[in-house]
Structure 1
């Protein structure tokens, strides 16, 4: 893969994404829809409307993860900076970089302030950078436009600075256990001895709390889930009708994971003209659109240690609903 770069003031963008092959992604989509149960990748949550809906979800009273993690970061970012010293900050899935400001506030005490946001959307990185430059005079930003895997494989040279890889929002929960272990291995391989990895984790808790967070009273999460079908209509020319489906989210206690579903309310077919395919949906079946695993802290620390990522310190909120783990490569 060849990376192309462009310079805009103090912002450098490195494009790692290649032009999307709709035929190939379409094959992957159809493979999931032919499975039992049917599945759709969470990647289809995030068109323009879906991204806006997710921003609304983060503000909901029931949806505690974003708010709780921000409170922890506000409290402990200075301590994190004191532990690591000056470091290049690389954030996977940076989005609007809202919570990252707590870390940037703490690290701006150092003469050099280097930030590497990673996101699939160049526009959101540019949008965030424009605001960050107004707040931090010494800030240098190199945006990597691509997936987590692409970014980890193409991290820029940090020079003499140690690096801290940041993965907030408990996004790790969207990975299966096998994918999580694979991600930890890739993370370890991308870092040098002495580098750091900061990880946000949503903890296991009661089903009532978790299911309320994913079934909000305003119906924003339901709209977010159903919008995935509209996104597929736009991308592949499909003819999903959202009235044929209903949002449902449950906490699977044995697996320690939230499972988001779209339940089919009536038997019908959906055509994908651009993929020359028709898929039949049976009334009563469901489409699994996302898992969000919730973690037991000690077990997760053991998994990290097995990949050479030693826990330095753990911080949490007063209810032990959410944790930040700082690890170091040994």
Structure 2
């Protein structure tokens, strides 16, 4: 496909990295994909203590399980954030005059429909470009957005966050949307790397809308991440089925259990897989293996909680100027709006 047939939201110098995966959905060409999956996985499992990158959770089954988690009574994050968006989308879009909305880790984009509704009401036309690692989720988003907002141009990007946003054309005024407190899944090192890269990828007329879960009582948080139906446990342990599929490894799902707790010192919920029996896991493509001892924990995901004012100050160090703060009546969740500034400032 010629460059001129590819979406103009992708910077000209990066268009040859992308191919059409499905109608209106673009994927990176295989020769530009990142690390070999087995090697990337083994690197973190051999760390001390062992851990996994959270994006491995979102294969097709993992994405479906997470959609179910979002509807649980214990999991307040989704409905609280959705209520803020429903009530404040008009003000958010008015404060961020752009031609394009790019959503990071979009899933099916259900909450983002509030923003798209206001975008088409306040400005004719425009583009919506969700980024996600699940082709199924992007296809569902495409169909829903196309049905409700036919005046919008849809371009889904099948990629990880940084692979996607680094390809967006800087000269196109863009609102980057990062919802669900997914930023809480980053370790401190990943957080710094992510926002440094995002800021460098943003143009001078760009904005960021960031959803963050706030610090609150530990018992509320622990219930949210260890629901009575066991869906969160299924979601976390499903990661090993996905890892077996992409890396050729042989984790035995019947030899592990789920454990989570709120770590008040680090202000984060930690979600683990715990070995209930010793097993040796093989990675044939690497001619390597590791032993997972009974009782040993693998950190699968974290969910950090934030104090909004301090986070606003921190992101100023990345050249992001806070211009709006939207929250709920209980002040459990915040949506923070930033504008790209000319340079990083002192907090």
TM over 0.5: yes
Equivalent residues of 1:215, 1:249 under 8 A apart:
yes
Query: What is the root-mean-square deviation in Å for CA atoms of aligned residues?
Result: 2.2
**Aligned counterparts of 2:197 and 2:292: Cα–Cα separation in 1:** 38
1:74 counterpart residue number = 86
What runs of 5+ residues in structure 1 fail to find an aligned partner?
A: none
Normalised to the residue count of structure 2, the TM-score between the two structures is 0.87
Distance in 2, matches of 1:196 and 1:46, equals 27
Q: Which residue does the alignment assign to 2:150?
A: 137
> Would the alpha carbon gap of residues 150 and 137 (structure 1) be closer, same or farther in structure 2, given more than 3 Å must change?
same
Contact 1:125–1:143 (CA under 8 A) maintained in structure 2: yes
Cα displacement (A) at 1:48: 1.9
Within-5 A mapping of 1:25-40: 25-40=37-52
| Residue 70 (structure 1) shift | 0.6
Moved more, 198-207 or 21-30: 21-30
Q: Is the 8 A contact 1:91 1:167 kept in 2?
A: yes
Equivalent pair of 1:260/1:290 in contact (CA under 8 Å): yes
Cα gap change, 1:212 to 1:17, in 2 (>3 Å): farther
**Given the two structures, how large is their TM-score scaled by the length of structure 1?**
0.91
Instruction: Work out the CA distance in 1 between the residues paired with 2:221 and 2:254.
Output: 26
Corresponding position of 2:200: 189
CA contact (8 A) 2:258 2:272 kept: yes
1-side partners of 2:35 and 2:130: how far apart?
A: 29
Secondary structure at the counterpart of residue 74 of structure 2: coil
Equivalent residues in 2 for 1:207-246, closer than 5 Å: 207-246=218-257
- Cα distance in structure 1, aligned partners of 2:114 and 2:57: 27
Which of the numbers 143, 150, 164 marks the counterpart of 2:163? 150
| 1:103-114 pair list within 5 angstroms | 103-109=115-121, 110-114=123-127
In structure 2, distance between residues paired with 1:191 and 1:69: 24
Displacement after TM superposition at 1:222 (Å): 0.7
Equivalent position to 2:189, from 178, 197, 217: 178
Name which of 14, 18, 36 aligns with 1:4. 18
| Partner-residue secondary structure (3-state), 2:155 | strand
Mapped partners of 2:221, 2:66: distance in 1: 17
Distance 1:231 1:193 in 2: 39
2:328 counterpart of 1:317: yes
Q: Provide Cα deviations, 1:68-103, integer angstroms capped at 9, x if missing partner.
A: 111110010011122223531111111111111000
The residue aligned with 2:111 is 99
Quick check: 236-245 or 70-79, which moved more?
236-245
